[in-house]
Amino acid sequence: MITVYGISNCDTVKKARAWLATQGLAHEFHDFKKLGIPAARLRIWEQAVGWHKLLNRQGTTWRKLDPGEQASATDAAGALTVMQAHASVIKRPVVEWPGGQITVGFEPTAWGALA
């Protein structure tokens, strides 16, 4: 089963879920805002794709963080701590594919090869 992690009102997550539906691909959705972020999953994602790819430094949530908190995200441990505390700084969607692959962001071309 495909699992999509994100925030339900995120436009990119909406596009990703619509694409999956159009392709006829069933998926589960895990909403960070309602269900939180499983710490174990966050570590697995970091190991698979790297913390730099997971941490969204372009978004509003990042810009609103205290400068000290931003400064703490200079390595994997610090970045994971910030992401665990502020789910909205995680780039979305994070998708776990049936074959074990993990992707971050919505890339229809790449997803077509994984589906």
The active-site residue, picked from 4, 6, 7, 10, is 10
Q: How far apart are the first and last CA of the chain?
A: 10
Residue 8 DSSP one-character state: T
Contact 51, 80 (CB under 8 A): yes
Residues 6+ apart with CB under 8 A from 36: 87
Q: Which residues pair with 96 in a beta bridge?
A: 3, 102
* Sign of the alpha-carbon dihedral angle for 61, 66, 72, 78: negative
Q: Is residue 10 annotated as a catalytic residue, yes or no?
A: yes
Active site members: 10
